[in-house]
Amino acid sequence: MLNVALPKGRLGEKVYAMFEAAGFECPSIKENNRKLIFENEEKQVRYFWVKPSDVAIYVERGAADIGVAGKDILLEYNPDIYELLDLNLGKCRMAVAAPDDFYDDGNRRLKVATKFTNIAADYYASIGREIDIIKLNGSIEIAPILKLSDVIVDIVETGTTLKENNLSVKNTIVPISARLIANKSSFKFKGTQIEKIVQSIREQVKAND
Ligand code: PRP
């Protein structure tokens, strides 16, 4: 049985469609209920819906053989997994944003609010700027408005949230997209099944490009 951790939500539904097209369908997943685990014994596959930021934990610890996680989570937590494929879905970027009129004169430590403390710390270390990190868990955009921080490091997709809060992107740190990931020992022991899925999904990604 191949265990697949899918990120709950719209991205996960698109990803499931790719697995289905690869020949690993599981019709019960489309039933309208609140179940979280679905399996198709004939195809030897089991899917489960997890919080997107938890997928890498399931895969790293082997509770899932493969899964789909955002590059943001992989960069932030650096899980010990294999990254097999860029799915070209869930595209956005990790960026530094601040009030439209903000200018960093470099005179004092920069206050940075973010959910992604490692990404922010690595980025500012790479440009040699000293910072104080303020870890938040959501609604990051509020921080510079209330002067909790000077800037934020956060995900920008359409840019609407920033715009509606009079913030703008100052620097892009890294582009983000969804990645197919595998547990290292599963990749060894269930390699044939995983490789079959990877090949089909790789072709689908190319065809959608
Ligand atoms: C993310 C991110 C921004 C928003 C960006 O939040 O933190 O707030 O999406 O999208 P946009 O550029 O299209 O406006 P998410 O919805 O993941 O919720 P969060 O507040 O928990 O981070």
For residue 120, the Cα-to-chain-centroid distance in whole angstroms is: 16
Residue 209: pLDDT band (50, 70, 90) is confident
Mean pLDDT of 45-59: 97
Which residue's CA lies nearest to atom 15 of ligand 1?
Answer: 138
Cβ < 6 Å from ligand 1: which residues? 138-141, 154-161
Helix or strand run (H / E) with residue 184: helix 184-189
Determine the atom of ligand 1 nearest the C-alpha atom of 159.
Answer: 12
The closest-lying atom of ligand 1 relative to the alpha carbon of residue 155 is 2
User: What single-letter DSSP state applies at residue 24?
Assistant: -
Give the residue-averaged pLDDT of 8-22. Answer: 96
At 132, is the pLDDT very low, low, confident or very high (cuts 50, 70, 90)?
very high
Q: What gap in Å lies between CA 112 and CA 132, rounded to an integer? A: 6
Q: How far is the CA of 52 from the centre of ligand 1 (A)?
A: 13
pLDDT at 7: 97
Q: How far is the CA of 155 from the centre of ligand 1 (A)?
A: 6
Q: How confident is the model at residue 33 (pLDDT cuts 50, 70, 90)?
A: confident
Quickly list DSSP for 41-100: TTTTEEEEEE-GGGHHHHHHTTSSSEEEEEHHHHHHH--SSEEEEE---S-EEEEEEEET
User: In angstroms, what CA-CA distances link 123 with 117, 118, 170?
Assistant: 10, 8, 13
Q: What is the pLDDT averaged over residues 123-140?
A: 97
- Residue nearest atom 18 in ligand 1 by C-alpha distance: 138
Beta carbons within 8 Å of 13's beta carbon, 6+ residues apart: none
Answer yes or no: are the C-beta atoms of 127 and 141 closer than 8 Å: no
Q: pLDDT at residue 185 above 90?
A: yes
- pLDDT of 184 > 90? The answer is yes
